[in-house]
Structure 1
Amino acid sequence: MPGSPADEGGLEPGDQVTAVAGIDVEGWFEFTREIRTRPGERVEITLVREGREIIRAITIDAEEEQGVQVGKMGVYQPVGALSYSPVPLTEAMVYGYRETVAVTGMILGFLRDLVTGGISPRSLGSIVTIGEASGQAAAAGVDSFLRFMALFSVNLAILNLLPIPVLDGGHLAFLLIEGVRGRQVSFETKMRWSQVGFLILMGIMVMALGNDFLRLMGF
């Protein structure tokens, strides 16, 4: 974008970014994760242009999103300019693995910041936010929609593994406790903790719905 940090730093359409602040990035998710977590910082961007490696120093903008400062550079994924070519199955699996790891890191980072106070609870969204995001992804094309569905699936998988009773992660936690103690946790104890877990999940759902309601009302 004209006047953006990327434009002022000398980035051009078609440049392939390979590293941010010395950290290798492969794919869009890794790139945006590094940029969003560095609001206001001046970093070195390593890129490849016409086969040549170039390093540019860029000061990342700091913008507020739902009460949280995030980094923005004025770079957008060229959805309309994507091209497709067949690759071997093994190469596709490796790329899929790398993208999944990048998305997982981004989600875990969000959860960490949410717990430590680095991100406001107002950033939580409910099914309303999910519906809006899926609609925007579908409008951008099949590729964007499939990427969104993959991101959503990884998100659900990670959340399901949280050690909260009634989730699969809670059941794994009970199994771990039983393995350490050498005896089973009583049915009554499991039921009590499952009720606590259910209340926690309901509280999160109500908070997320409330956030969406306030956002739609303009607050």
Structure 2
Amino acid sequence: MDDLTIEQRATKLLEGGNVDKDDLRFFLSRLLQIQEDQGRDASRALSRGIGLGVIFVILTYGRTLEVELLGVKVQDISPLRLVIPVVMMLMVLRAVTVLRLSLFYRRVFREVAGRHLPNWQESGLVALLSPWNGPMSSHASAVRLDVDEHPGVNRLHQVMRTVDAWAGIVALTGFQVYAFAILFQDPKISTVGALAALNASLVLTAFVAAYLVLTRLGRHSATAHSSRA
């Protein structure tokens, strides 16, 4: 049992035909709570990344750069900017990792509800049940709340999701370009150090891109599975 992956454990759970209603209610409520916590986790990671960007700007253009560390006065802490773009990408990687895991939890919720609470699945409202306090683009439900709603409202909703996603990508890319352009031009920063930070940031960016691709594929797979069901 300990050698099973999460996917295999979920499959075994769904194979059970006789499920206690109280256990089912507890399990689904825990899934919803985890979803909410994951949204907050993703938001915190992104907020920390933005905060690091602000610190980078302050260190670049601020005049007061002295600090006392362990009784030793450091005249210039601006070289600390080397780690900021790398840590920012770590925060973004954390956020997309949470997003990937959240999609898995959502799929388990739909599968369990569809098997043991078929009326929930048939209602089409299951997608609205999973709470999410993260970025809009990652969990804005595509389910129409009102069939009488003007089609333009749904279209605007989709456009806002797209803008939210692309704004984050453009802002992150733009800041990374800006940060390393500043670092490579700063005589206080060694070229070797700037190159090392750039390489680390690019590696993390590759991981982020891979997670985003996997997330997109997972979303399409879940959508196709739901339509077949």
TM-score range, shorter chain: 0.3 to 0.5
What TM-score, normalized to structure 1?
0.33
User: By percentage of residues, which structure has more strand?
Assistant: 1
- Structure with more relative contact order (C-alpha pairs < 8 Å, separation 6 or more): 2
Compare the two structures and name the one with the higher helix fraction.
Answer: 2
User: Which of the pair has more CA radius of gyration?
Assistant: 2
TM norm structure 2: 0.32
